[in-house]
Amino acid sequence: MTELKLPSLDYAALAPILIMLGAALVGVLVEAFVPRRSRHVVQLTLALLAVLAALTMVVLNADDRLITAGQAISVDGPTLFLQGAILVLAAMALLLIGDRSVERGGAFVAQAAVTAESADDRRQAEGRNGLTEIYPLTTFAIGGMLIFVAANDLLTMFIALEVFSLPLYLLCALARRRRLLSQEAAMKYFLLGAYASAFFLFGVALIYGFTSGIPGRGAGVDFSTINAAVTESPTSPVLLFAGMALLAIGLLFKAAAAPFHVWTPDVYQGAPTPVTGFMAACTKVAAFGALLRVFHVAFAGAAWDFTPVLGAVAVLTMLVGAVLAVTQTDIKRLLAYSSIANAGYLLVGVLSPSRDGLSGTMFYLVAYGFSVLAAFAVVTLVRDADGEATHLSRWAGLGRRSPFYAGLFTFILLAFAGIPLTSGFTSKFAIFGPALDGGQAWLVIAGVLTSMVLAFPYLRVVVMMWLSEPGESTPTVTVPGGLTSAALMIGVLATLVLGVAPAPLLDLATGAADFVR
């Protein structure tokens, strides 16, 4: 019997991941042993501290460029930048998740197993404290995302995908109000997500088959092997193309790109709003981080083959997102379609293979994450007796009732519309500039045209808030407690700062824009 050779582990480089997963496990123990009334505080503190510690480790590791744990995890510039982004955005999302001042007991259900719309359900909605299992679930999801952007082979990537997806399915089902909608959203997300995972896994198998033919080298699904196989393998490229397509389906599903986007509006609408914000910001970063690595590292040699297809997907995504956003009457669905359109812009960035393209995409992810979290933070505040009032007609005249929050939301919408002096403009520039430089003029033109269409729904909300008279049913804006206020202000300030002085973050992104291969 041959001795099993253990791969060396660089614990410092893996620390952010280990901290998050460890904190999640501790969180499970807290559920078991800490008395119910203090669980909320303990769990929230634990989760935030873990995020902070992981972030510290990311900063300390800033100069790492290595591959560890066999060939499974690569810690390089993009990994660290995106991990940092996920952690910062996740901290904001945790602030929203942990808030209990806007709604008594928080945005989450007290007992998920109660039959929806029953008398028990109505009782729990009236202010019993929400579940605290959400914190370990969120922490697991964050940990999975950290692995996802660092994964250096397809199997690790698949496991990470499941680690962050499963908690998200659950989190979607835990809204305090409108339980049926929430459960339906979770069901849809789960079923479609399971399909997408299956596609991904099948793609991994095909790619494994494709790599088996390289002379003098074993088959494998780590990225350097795939990269070598793309140029050297004598096997028919059909396996490669089919495998790439299936992998792309799995990843584009998470990124909410058309035609794999159909879950997005339903899930965004049904999920508890803080979770929606978490998904819109962090899942997007994770999904695009993985897309960047897969297509820039593993399949770099096949760029001529995948660029037209992914380009078509990008154009379709921008079109679908922009055009359907125009017809929406619910603010959460509107933001969902806007996030689909933004996935399209990000895909344009993915297709710019230059260093500037990579750094631009990463910049866009961060900028968009801040803005979208702030947008959902405002959505949690506009409410009436039945919870959040998300129908657009209800927002009429909001600017008159509470000019401050309507002003913040207007600013965020202007950022989404790409008006200069907001991060929306600088990030569009960061994406379109390298794309045009790389000769992808058609993508830029599609991006510009869809931006025009997309401006209309944003503007309609602004008109609703400021230029319409308040009606009888205009809800009030709840004055938020410290946690939501903090998340909101961070998001708005970041949107402003990244719009006015983007240079520091751009420098950081440019410095990080180099994959270790």
Distances (CA, A) of 300 to 182, 239, 462: 40, 16, 43
Nearer to another protein, 18 or 419 (CB): 419
Residue 420, preceding peptide bond in cis (omega within 30° of 0): no
- Nearest distance in Å: CB 474, another protein: 16
Asked whether 359 and 509 are in contact (CB, 8 A), the reply is yes
Q: Which residues contact 389 (CB under 8 A, 6 or more apart)?
A: 382, 383, 395, 475
Minimum CB–partner distance for residue 174 and another protein (Å): 38
Q: 62 in helix, strand or coil?
A: coil
DSSP 8-state assignment for residue 71 = T
Nearer to another protein, 265 or 418 (CB): 418
Classify each residue of 124-140 as buried b or exposed e, where b means 16 or more C-beta atoms within 10 Å of its C-beta. bbeeebbbbbbbbbbbb
Distance in Å, CB of 373 to another protein, minimum = 23
In the bound state with another protein, the residue whose beta carbon lies nearer, of 222 and 356, is 356
For residue 448, the minimal CB distance to another protein (Å) is 5
Q: Which is nearer to another protein, 265 or 457 (CB)?
A: 457
Q: CB of residue 345 vs another protein: minimum separation in angstroms? A: 13
**Lateral strand order in the sheet of 382-384:** 387-388, 382-384, 476-477
- Name the residue nearer to another protein (CB basis): 291 or 315: 315
CA distance 493 to 477: 20
Residue 460 beta carbon to another protein: minimum distance, rounded to whole angstroms? 8
354 SS3 class: coil
Query: At its nearest, how many Å lie between another protein and the CB of residue 51?
Result: 29
**Smallest distance, Å, CB 399 to another protein?**
9
Q: Based on the number of CB atoms within 10 Å of its own CB, is 441 exposed (0-12), middle (13-18) or buried (19 or more)?
A: exposed
- Beta strands 387-388 and 382-384, pairing class: antiparallel
CB 314 to another protein: min, Å: 16
**3-state DSSP of 88-120:** HHHHHHHHHHHCCCCCCCCCECCCCCCCCCCHH
> In this complex, which beta carbon is closest to another protein, that of residue 331 or of residue 506?
506
Instruction: Return the exposure string of 209-234: e unless at least 16 CB atoms fall within 10 Å of the residue's CB, then b.
Output: bbbbebeeeeebbbbbbbbebbeebe
CA distance 495 to 411: 9
Residue 74's SS3 state is: strand
Report, in Å, the least distance between residue 419 CB and another protein.
6
Cβ distance to another protein smaller for residue 273 or 426? 426
Q: Of the two residues 331 and 509, which places its CB atom closer to another protein in the complex? A: 509
Residue of 224, 91, 250 whose CA lies nearest to 161: 250
Closest CA to 465 of 391, 401, 378, 398: 398
Residue closer to another protein (CB basis): 65 or 400: 400
Closer residue to another protein in complex, CB, 249/506: 506
Element of type H or E holding 397: none
User: Which residues in this chain contact another protein in the complex, by CB under 8 A?
Assistant: 414, 417-421, 425-426, 428-429, 432-433, 436-437, 441, 444-445, 448-449, 451-452, 455-456, 459-460, 463, 466-468, 501-503, 506-507, 510
User: From CA 422, how far away is CA 432, in angstroms rounded?
Assistant: 16
Please say which residue, 127 or 433, places its beta carbon nearer to another protein.
433
Alpha-carbon span 367 to 491, nearest angstrom: 9
**Smallest gap, in angstroms, from Cβ of residue 478 to another protein?**
23
